[in-house]
Structures are given as C-alpha cells and as structure tokens.
C-alpha cells in the first residue's frame, strides 16, 4: 500500500464528521424545503404512478420532510404536516402517532379519504418477519429485515380497501433522499415496482390490509423512515413519520440475488449468526486461543455500526455495495485519519485506557463509541479484527476472524522481508525496517467482486489494523484471497501488502568488503507459516493456509512468489544467489509457563559427506508480537564440529530471574541464531520466537440458567508469579447473558488463589458463552470462558433491558476466598 491521490472508494474527505465538544444524540432538524423545488416540479403520485401524471401539482400539496438520517443515534419524529385550523369535528391533529394529513397539509380529513390509522410491521422477535429474516436474535423492537427477501405488514385503515384506492409505501434514508440514488424508495401497492421493489395485497379483511413487501437485493443498508400515502377522489392522505415504524435493512447472505450470498447454511450459521468465536495468537509452535464475544445482536450494537458509516460521512447511495462498506469499516475501526472506533497502542503503556489484552468482546467498545463519539483506548490487531467481525456480521456480511502466524510487514513494497547484516553477520538495525509479527489477526468476508475480472469472488481480506496507508488512508481491503494465492498483486485493493504478509520470503543480506550487499541466505518458509480460523460449528481450529497460498515449495507457490516480486520494488532479488547448503539448523524452545525457568536449544545436522565446523552465535531478547525487539539480555557463542551425518544440540538455559526484568506484552522472546560453516562458507541464519504461557481463569456455574432469573457464576484464579499482582481488574461479558461488566478486585498476592462470585440475569435462551478476563500491570492475557445453556422463561419469550448488569466505570468486588499455593 502506498500513498497517493484519494481516488479509491471508502473515504470521502469532503464529508468528514467533526465531533462536537459534547456529542449530541439528536441534531437539530433542518428547515423544511419546498418539495417541488427539490423534485423538479413533479408531484409524488406523478412520480410513482403513471395514471396520475396528468394531475396538477397543486392538487397534492407539500411532501413530508425532516432530518432523514439513518437514525442510528435514536432521533425523534416530526409530524408530516402543518398545524390544522379549526374545521369542525372531522378535523384531525396530525402531530400525534397514527394521525395523518391531507394533500393541502391543513390536517383536514375529508369524507371518502382513505386514512391509514396505524401500521403493524409485525416486528416483534417472535413474529414471522424477524424469524424468516434471521433477525430474531437482535435485541430490538423495530423491524429488521434483510434485503432481497419479502416481509409482511398490516395497514389499519379508516374503511375497507377498494380496488380504486391508490396506496404507496415510501422508504427514505439520508439528509436529501433521491429516487435516483435509492435513498427515496416509492412502492405502489399492487403495481410492479422498479429494481426489485414491490408490494402486493395478500388479504383485505375489513379495515385491515395485509401486504407482502419485496425489497431490492441491491437496496441500501441502514435505518429507513417509513410512511404510507393514499389517494382517492376525496383527496390524498399521508401517514406521518413515526420512529416506531422505522425499518432496518441489512445485507442478505440467504438471498441468491444479493452479492453477499453464501450457499452453505452451516457457513451462514457460523459466519453471520454466531455471536462468539475464537481468536488465536502466540506463535505457530505455541498457539494461544481466547474466546471473543462479538455480540452483534446486543441492544445498541446495530445503531453503533450504522453510526460508524454516518461518522465517516459515507454517501448513503454507496451503502448498498459491500465492497464500499467493508472498505469504510476497515478504515473506521481504527482511529487514525478519521477519529474512528479504536486507538491503537503498542507501547506497553495503557495507563490512559484499557490494555488490549483485557477486552473480552466488542460490545463495550462499540457502545462506548456510540455513547460518547470518541475513540476508545486501546486496541491491537485482534481487537481491531474482533470489532470488525462484529460490525460486518451485524450488517449481514459473512465474516470470520483469521490469524496469520509469522506475518510480514513489508515497508518498501519489495514483497520480500529484508534483513541486513555486517561482514560479521551482526544485524544492522538501522537498515532493518521490515518486520515479522509473531502473529497478525485480520478478517475474511464473503462477497462477489463485480469490480474485478471473473474468478475473484468469495473470501476477501479486510484488515482494520493501521499498518500502512492505502491511497493516503489507513485502511486495507477488501482484497480477493484468490489474487493473493496467485501473486496477482495488481488486483485491488492492497494485494501487494497482504501478499507479503503471507507469502514473501525472508532474505538475509550481508555487507561485503566493498560496501555492497549480497544475498547469503533466503528463508523460503518463514512467512505465513500457518493461517487459521475457528472451525464451523465447533471450537476447533481450521487451517486455511491452502486458500491463501499453494503448497510451500511447490512450483505453483514459487511462481506466485516470483511473479509478485517482479511487480515489487526489487524485481531481480532472486537472481544470482548462492544455494549450496549441507548443514541444517533447527531451533527448539520448551513449553514454559510465565514465572518458570526455561531452556532453548539449537540442533545442527550435517547432511553432507565431509566434516563441518560451525561457529554459532545465539542472542536472546524479549519482543513485542509486532516484531519490535528489546535489547539482548543473554547471549552465547560456541563452535561445533559435525561429522558427516551427525547432529549436535546447543542448549541455552534461561532463569525466571534473568527474563523477568525485561518482559513485555504477550510474554514473547526472540532467539536470533547466526552461524558460519568454516569449510564451505555456508551462512546459517534463523529467527525463532516463542512465548511464555499464562494461566486460564476457571469459571463454573452455580445453578441452572433461565431467562429472566438470576444466576451465579464462580471465577477461580491462581497467581502463577511469586510477586503481588496490583490493581487487578476482571471483565465479564456474554451476549444474551451479561452486558459488559468491570470488576475491580485490588491486589492478589504471589502464588495466591482467589475466588469471586457474580450474578447475572440471562435475557435470551439457548447456548451462550460467558467470557472473563483478568488484567494487572504485572500479568495480562488471562482469560476464561464457560458455556451456559439458558432455558426459556416459564412463560416463554425473552427479556432484555438496557441497564442489565452494565458497569462501565467498574465496581470494587471483595474476594469470596483466598488461598495460598
């Protein structure tokens, strides 16, 4: 990704939203413009119904207008007409819910007019609409539907419906709705609509009119205002806008005509509807995993997701395109450029916010951003990816969280990881700008790519972690995984950078006597060694490396790498390199727990027929997971003589007291090994990262879980360190179980065991995940999870409240018991 003109989709600098000093949830409404000046002089009915085009505009009066934003911050409604004069008993006040106005806007309801006295959108979670559209888990009372799929509603009329009556439904979104941009949708009942929109009468029963409404598979996503218009010989009636009648429309992976369609039900269940998942971290040899609460159906999260689009100023007309939407989300989840959701922090100092390792889900982050309008501190790659999964799943895109181990960060578009050494193979740190992250977490989302040639549909990479700019903005993707696999780095968006993350080679350069540099070693299997995600329908890992790259070392894989490198800044990097190698080297590190001593070893093997003498150097330092290393705190030098076919092991013991003063986030260390074979001149080089494991939290349920009834959970933790943990904070969260809760528990002594209990009230039935974390300045990355099978309430249904179990600022919790080792 390189800087350049902002010609790409996904950012609209001219529409940047500036936060107010105190974020206001309800902006002042704009003045009502004259509708005919906005509509080119044609009346509502002339635009939606050909038989009415001959009527005079003055017959229809003003159109309703108000601030028609997406409504993602909970705006109120306004009546659609003027205050009426006093005209007798058949005059009606239009300002109240269910009232209406006539064409003249004076509030008079004339005899014979078809008045809509109410609308039933069948929006409750148990109604047919929500169940058929797979939106019944959303903790919302409003109607939430997926585009390209019909839904039902009932109009309550002042008299029985007659075939001569004209009825039109109207959906509006944005500040200046226009029919041509899809932000003002007019649906004449009983007539063929345009672009897939239509409404049909399914039943006329007295004063109730049942309708089946079809939405376009290309509809804009967001929160629409809804109204109904009628016309008879007696005049026109329009139902005022009512916030209770607003309709959310989402992408639809169940609809074959939607470009986000997914043709596997188990995929949709996992990648759209699953509210929790597993995120993997650590190293390839020592994989850590944690449960993450995506919480895409929690109350307020959908509004937060739409607010993200509003905050960037994304044009409403572009919100029907998942390519545009996912690109904007990749930019807005990080705070750089645009005051987005999360502030990235890799410094190790989190005193002004939350340690990224302490988060257990996305809900607290998104609701804080919605509530305050300010970026939330702090995030790192797995937090950015977890929040992105929440947002995209909430909006209807099949999305998964993916971890790439040994993920390269190419800073010069060479599509290789270049490491420079002096004549004695000592690293030249001032030249080593490329880095290899122990792991990096991003997202795959599923969609067709009509903006690319055929063959690039399916999984697309979206990465919200701010690493390099794309067209001058910190965003990344969507990028076709198929283009990454084949090294087609000229495909948009950001393929060169992502290709280098998974399939570049690590190239070791040695400075020569004349000052030039020569390639002395190419490590072809060092980058993108393992790419995994949570498996469908289980908590197991799924290896997806094969969809990102051809088998390592195969002809197709080498061709992809060299094709990509030919488009990089060093196209001839593979020319004229020495390949004679008969001594093999392998690095091993034992599995150790934080606080214990450990041993790292280097195994040398002579695969040749002649004796070999190897001069070996080992340097051990701590490292952040991003590849940034601290100073070397232990080193060893040894000369090893290997007979033909023989092996030897060089061990380096490391005591807890040696590494304790140097520890950083994730408890990771980097062993740099370099060697020189005296007889052949072969250069050996290897960078090996390993980590110290942290303990888990043990969660157990004390009693049965039933919707609406209090339940208790017990959390047990043993401090693995011989030092006191200070200012310990627990977090507890679970969709359908517990709103994000912060528990301050004070200090925990060295090797001490503590137990605490917390109550919660389940709000939705079914299998749920309750997730906890522990954080302190001395120890982080401590998590635990328990599955909670929630029984329905005795009377059936669900229960939810905004206030349930929410403790934003934290509360002090006494420990139930303490014990020694």
Which residues carry out catalysis? 381, 440, 463
Residue 36 CB neighbours (<10 A): 16
Cα 466 to Cα 340: distance, rounded to the nearest angstrom: 11
> Cα separations (Å) of 430 from 64, 417, 433, 561, 569?
65, 15, 7, 27, 20
Smallest CA-to-CA distance from 577 within 519, 506, 516, 515 is with 519
Q: Please answer whether residues 722 and 788 qualify as being in contact, where contact means their C-beta atoms are separated by less than 8 angstroms.
A: no
How many helices, marked H, and strands, marked E, lie in the chain?
13, 42
Peptide bond into 378 cis (omega under 30): yes
Token code pair at residue 395: 């909006």
Judged by DSSP in three states, 372 sits in helix
φ/ψ (deg, to 5) at 739 = -65, 155
Q: Which helix (H) or strand (E) holds 668?
A: strand 668-677
φ/ψ (deg, to 5) at 280 = -105, 145
Cα 75 to Cα 225: distance, rounded to the nearest angstrom: 11
User: Judging by DSSP bridges, how do beta strands 705-706 and 612-623 pair with one another?
Assistant: unpaired
Token code pair at residue 723: 């030092």
User: Judging by DSSP bridges, how do beta strands 683-693 and 668-677 pair with one another?
Assistant: antiparallel
Cα 389 to Cα 443: distance, rounded to the nearest angstrom: 7
Q: Rg for the chain (alpha carbons), in Å? A: 31
Q: Which helix (H) or strand (E) holds 788?
A: strand 782-791
Alpha helices, DSSP H, located in 286-346: 301-312, 322-332
Q: Which residues contact 262 (CB under 8 A, 6 or more apart)?
A: 253, 254, 268, 271, 272, 398, 446
Smallest CA-to-CA distance from 363 within 451, 438, 294, 280 is with 294
Q: Which helix (H) or strand (E) holds 499?
A: helix 495-503
| DSSP one-letter string for 125-150 | TTSHHHHHTT-TTSS-SSEEEETTS-
Cα 454 to Cα 448: distance, rounded to the nearest angstrom: 9
Cα 733 to Cα 715: distance, rounded to the nearest angstrom: 13
Q: Please answer whether residues 290 and 783 qualify as being in contact, where contact means their C-beta atoms are separated by less than 8 angstroms.
A: yes
Q: Compute CA 704 distance to the chain's CA centroid, rounded to the nearest angstrom.
A: 33
Alpha helices, DSSP H, located in 343-431: 363-372, 381-395
């Amino acid at each position: 990704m390189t800087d350049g003109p902002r010609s790409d989709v996904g950012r609209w600098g001219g529409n940047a939203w500036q936060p107010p000093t105190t974020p206001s949830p309800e902006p002042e409404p704009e003045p009502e413009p004259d509708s005919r000046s906005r509509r080119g002089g044609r009346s509502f009915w002339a635009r939606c119904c050909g038989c009415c085009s001959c009527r005079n505009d003055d017959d229809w009066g003003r159109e309703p207008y108000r601030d028609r934003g997406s409504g993602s911050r909970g705006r109120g409604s306004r009546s659609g007409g003027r205050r009426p004069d006093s005209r007798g008993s058949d005059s009606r006040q239009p300002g109240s819910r269910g009232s209406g106005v006539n064409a003249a806007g004076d509030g008079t309801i004339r005899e014979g007019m078809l008045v809509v006295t109410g609308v039933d959108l069948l929006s409750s979670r148990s109604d047919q609409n929500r169940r058929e559209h797979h939106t019944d888990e959303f903790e919302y009372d409003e109607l939430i539907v997926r585009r390209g799929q019909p839904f039902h509603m009932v109009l309550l009329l002042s008299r029985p419906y007659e075939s001569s009556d004209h009825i039109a439904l109207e959906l509006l979104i944005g500040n200046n709705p226009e029919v041509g941009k899809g932000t003002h949708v007019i649906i004449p009942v009983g007539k063929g609509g345009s672009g897939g929109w239509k409404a049909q009468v399914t039943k006329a029963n007295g004063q109730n009119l049942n309708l089946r409404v079809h939405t376009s598979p290309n509809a804009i996503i967001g929160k629409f205002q809804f109204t109904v218009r009628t016309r008879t010989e007696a005049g026109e009636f329009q139902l005022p806008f009512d916030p209770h009648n607003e309709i959310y429309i989402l992408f639809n992976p169940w609809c074959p005509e939607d470009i986000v369609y997914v043709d596997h039900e188990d995929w949709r269940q996992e990648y759209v509807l699953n509210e929790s998942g597993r995120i993997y971290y650590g190293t390839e040899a020592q994989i850590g995993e944690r449960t993450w609460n995506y919480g895409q159906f929690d109350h307020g999260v959908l509004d937060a997701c739409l607010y993200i689009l509003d905050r960037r100023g994304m044009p409403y007309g572009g919100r029907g395109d998942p390519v545009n939407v996912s690109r904007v989300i990749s930019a807005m989840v990080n705070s750089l450029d645009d005051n987005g959701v999360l502030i990235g922090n890799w410094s190790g100092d989190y005193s002004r916010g939350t340690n990224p390792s302490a988060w257990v889900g996305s809900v607290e982050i998104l609701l804080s951003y919605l509530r305050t309008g300010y970026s939330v501190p702090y995030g790192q790659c797995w937090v950015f990816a977890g929040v992105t999964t929440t947002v995209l799943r909430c909006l209807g895109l099949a999305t998964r969280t993916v971890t790439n181990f040994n993920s390269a960060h190419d800073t010069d578009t060479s599509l290789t990881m270049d490491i420079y050494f002096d004549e004695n193979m000592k690293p030249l740190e001032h030249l080593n700008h490329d880095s290899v992250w122990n792991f990096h977490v991003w997202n795959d989302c599923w969609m067709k790519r009509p903006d690319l040639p055929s063959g690039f549909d399916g999984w697309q990479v979206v990465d919200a972690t701010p690493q390099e700019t794309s067209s001058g903005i910190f965003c990344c993707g969507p990028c076709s995984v198929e283009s990454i696999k084949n090294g087609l780095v000229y495909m948009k968006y950001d393929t060169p950078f992502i290709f280098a993350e998974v399939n570049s080679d690590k190239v070791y350069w040695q400075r020569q006597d004349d000052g030039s540099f020569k390639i002395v070693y190419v490590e072809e299997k060092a980058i993108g060694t393992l790419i995994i995600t949570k498996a469908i329908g289980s908590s197991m890992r799924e290896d997806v490396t094969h969809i990102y790259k051809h088998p390592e070392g195969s002809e197709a894989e080498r061709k992809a790498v060299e094709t990509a490198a030919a488009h990089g800044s060093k196209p001839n990097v593979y020319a004229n390199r020495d390949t004679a190698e008969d001594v093999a080297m392998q690095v091993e590190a034992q599995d150790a727990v934080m606080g214990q001593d450990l041993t790292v070893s280097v195994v040398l093997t002579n695969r040749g027929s002649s004796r070999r003498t190897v001069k070996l150097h080992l340097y051990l330092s701590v490292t952040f997971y991003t590849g940034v290393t601290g100073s070397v705190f232990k080193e060893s030098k040894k000369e090893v003589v290997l007979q033909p076919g023989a092996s030897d092991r060089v061990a380096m013991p490391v005591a807890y007291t040696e590494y304790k003063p140097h520890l950083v986030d994730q408890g990771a260390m980097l062993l740099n090994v370099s060697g020189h074979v005296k007889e052949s001149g072969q250069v050996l080089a290897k960078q090996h990262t390993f980590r110290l494991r942290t303990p888990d939290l043990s969660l157990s349920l004390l009693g049965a879980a039933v919707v609406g009834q209090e339940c208790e959970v017990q959390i047990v933790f043993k401090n693995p360190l011989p030092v006191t943990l200070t200012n310990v904070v627990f977090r507890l969260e679970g969709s359908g179980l517990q709103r994000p809760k912060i528990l301050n528990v004070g200090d925990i002594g060295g090797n001490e065991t503590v137990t605490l209990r917390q109550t919660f009230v389940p709000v939705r039935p079914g299998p749920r995940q309750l997730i906890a974390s522990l954080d302190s300045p001395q120890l982080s990355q401590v998590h635990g999870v328990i599955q909670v099978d929630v029984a329905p309430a005795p009377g059936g249904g669900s229960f939810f409240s905004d206030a349930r179990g929410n403790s934003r600022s934290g509360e002090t919790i006494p420990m139930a018991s303490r014990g020694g080792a």
